[in-house]
Amino acid sequence: MEKKEKVSVKICVGTACFVQGGADLLLYQDFLDPVVLAGCDIQGVSCIGGCKDDAMQVRPPYVEIAGQVFGEMTQEKLCKLLQEAIHA
């Protein structure tokens, strides 16, 4: 079977994101399904810029999944999005 490439996930750990819920996302080891964890390459990044972008429609915390930035991230939302992402 051909090995699937891991989904790149970047969790913003900048100040604005961290205080508005980003801290909860860093517990990803605990709340994500092991299958999802295995399928993703999760990293922290300092400020991905969303908080300074006036054109941004959604609020922090931001997470970038496979190049696309999502805002107002919660643990549940991240679970759902990553499930979809690894099966895409």
Partner 1 sequence: MNDVFIDVDYAQIYKHGQKIGGDVFLLSRQDASAQIVCTLSDGLGSGVKANVLASLTARMAHKLSFSPMDLTHSAKIIMNTLPVCKERKISYATFTIADLRRSNEDEVLVNLVEYDNPSALMFQGSIPIQWERDKIDLRRDGAFKQEVLGHSQFKLSIGSRLLIFSDGVTQAGMGKSLPLGWRLEGVRSFAQKVIERDPDISSHDLAREVVSRAHTLDRLTAKDDITCMVVYVRKPRRTLVVTGPPFKQEQDSLLVDKIQSFEGKRIVSGGTTAQIVSRIMNRQLKVDMSCWSPQVPPCSKMEGLELVTEGMLTLSKVATALEQKRPAYTLPNDAVKKFIQIMQESDQVHFIVGTKINEAHQDPSIPVEIGIRRTLIGRLQRALEDNYLKETSLEYI
Residues contributing to the site for ligand FES (CB under 6 A): 12, 14-17, 47-51, 60, 62
With respect to ligand FES, which residue has the nearer C-beta, 7 or 63?
A: 63
- CA dist 47 to 19, 40, 67, 69, 88, Å? 12, 20, 15, 12, 27
Please give the residues from 1 up to 60 whose contact with partner 1 meets the rule CB under 8 A: 13-16, 18-20, 22-23, 26, 42-47, 51-52, 59
How many CB atoms sit inside 10 A of residue 75's CB? Answer: 15
End-to-end CA separation in angstroms for the chain: 17
Residue with smallest beta-carbon separation from ligand FES = 14
Binding stretches for partner 1 (CB under 8 A): 13-16, 18-20, 22-23, 26, 42-47, 51-52, 59
